[in-house]
Amino acid sequence: MTTDPQDSRPSRKRRGFLNAQLVRGFSFLTTSMCILVAVVASLLAIWEYTGTDVLWRTVATCAVIGGGTMAFALVNTLFGERGE
């Protein structure tokens, strides 16, 4: 009679406090949209349709929002360990 060590341990699944798939998807979409907006604003500034002050404010806003959503996804994963 052999026992597999994996069978004797309780199964612990690492999950987020909130649904990790949902948070990851939201973070991906938000960060992708921020990158797209920053690229469009940069192109408009390069072609002088907008001023450089608008460019830097837009890029900074996108960086803060994108960074915030990525940080939220990380914190959700770190503090949400549950055993099932």
Q: Which residues contact 45 (CB under 8 A, 6 or more apart)?
A: 51, 52, 54, 55
pLDDT in tens, 21-78: 898 899 999 999 999 999 999 999 898 888 888 889 999 999 999 999 999 999 988 8
Between 39 and 4, the more confident residue is 39
User: Is the model's pTM score more than 0.75?
Assistant: no
Ranges of each domain in the chain:
16-78
Encoded tokens for 58: 């837009």
**Whole-number Å distance between alpha carbons of 19 and 15:** 7
